[in-house]
Chains A and B, each alone.
Chain A
Amino acid sequence: MIEAKGVSLRYPDGTLALKGIDLEIGTGELVYITGPSGSGKTSLLKLLMGVEYPTSGSLKVMGQPIAKGQEGNIRRLRKRIGPVFQEFRLIQGRTALENVMMGMRFLGLPYRQAKENAQNALARLGLGHKALSMVENLSWGEAQRIAIARAVARKPRLIMADEPTGNLDHDNALIILDLLTSFRDTNTTVIITTHATHLIGRQEHATFIRMDGGSISVERRGKAYEKSLV
Chain B
Amino acid sequence: MKKALYNAPYFMKEAGRVLWQNRLSGIFSFLSTGLILFILAVIVTCWSVGNLLIKTVQDEAEISAYLDQNIGEEQVPGLVETIKGMEGVRDVKLVDREEAYGRMKEILGEEAGVLGLFDENPFEAFIEVRISLGELGKIAERVEGLKGISHVRDNREVLERVQSITIGLKRFGCLIIAAVGISTLVIVSHMIRQGIYNNRVQIGTLRLLGAPESFIGFPFVLAGLLLTLVGGLLASFVIVFLINRAYSAMAGSLPFIPLPARSQLVTGLVLFVSSVSILLGVLGSLFGLRSTE
Contacts and interface: CB of A to CB of B under 8 A. Distances in A.
Interface string A93-128: 100000000110110101100000000000000000
A105 B208 contact: no
Nearest to B202: A91
B206 A51 contact: no
Contact of B6 (A75, A83, A111): A111
Given A105-B7, A106-B215, A83 B202 contact: no
A201 to B, nearest CB: 31
Nearest to A49: B208
B6 A103 contact: no
- Give the dominant DSSP class at B's interface: helix
A104 to B, nearest CB: 9
A93 B14 CA distance: 11
Contacts of B201: 89, 91
Interface of A: 49, 51, 75-81, 83, 85, 89, 91, 93, 102-103, 105-106, 108, 110-111, 150, 154
B212 A75 contact: yes
A89 B205 contact: yes
Contacts of B7: 105-106
B150 to A, nearest CB: 84
A93 B17 contact: yes
Contacts of A154: 209
Interface size class of B (residues with CB under 8 A): 10 to 19
A81 B211 CA distance: 12
A150 B210 CA distance: 13
B123 interface: no
Interface string B125-152: 0000000000000000000000000000
Interface of B: 2-3, 6-7, 10, 17, 201-202, 204-212, 215
14 contacts: A78-B209, A78-B210, A79-B210, A85-B208, A89-B201, A91-B201, A91-B202, A102-B209, A105-B215, A106-B211, A110-B6, A111-B6, A150-B209, A154-B209
Given A89-B201, A150-B209, 16 more contacts: A49-B208, A75-B212, A78-B208, A78-B209, A78-B210, A83-B208, A85-B205, A91-B205, A93-B17, A103-B209, A105-B215, A106-B3, A106-B7, A106-B210, A106-B211, A111-B6
Contacts of A89: 201, 204-205, 208
Q: Which of B201, B204, B208, B212 has the most CB of A within 10 A?
A: B208
A62 to B, nearest CB: 12
Nearest to B213: A75
A214 B149 CA distance: 112
B210 A75 contact: yes
Contacts of B211: 105-106
B4 to A, nearest CB: 10
Contacts of A108: 3
Contacts of B210: 75-81, 106
A146 to B, nearest CB: 13
A105 B205 contact: no
A150 B209 CA distance: 10
Contacts of A51: 208
A105 B204 CA distance: 16
A186 B196 CA distance: 40
Q: Which of B6, B205, B207, B212 has the most CB of A within 10 A?
A: B205
Contacts of A150: 209
Q: Which of B2, B206, B207, B210 has the most CB of A within 10 A?
A: B210
A80 B210 CA distance: 8
Nearest to A154: B209
Contacts of A81: 210
A105 B201 CA distance: 18
A77 to B, nearest CB: 7
A108 B211 CA distance: 11
Nearest to A88: B205
A49 B204 CA distance: 13
B207 A75 contact: yes
B10 A105 contact: yes
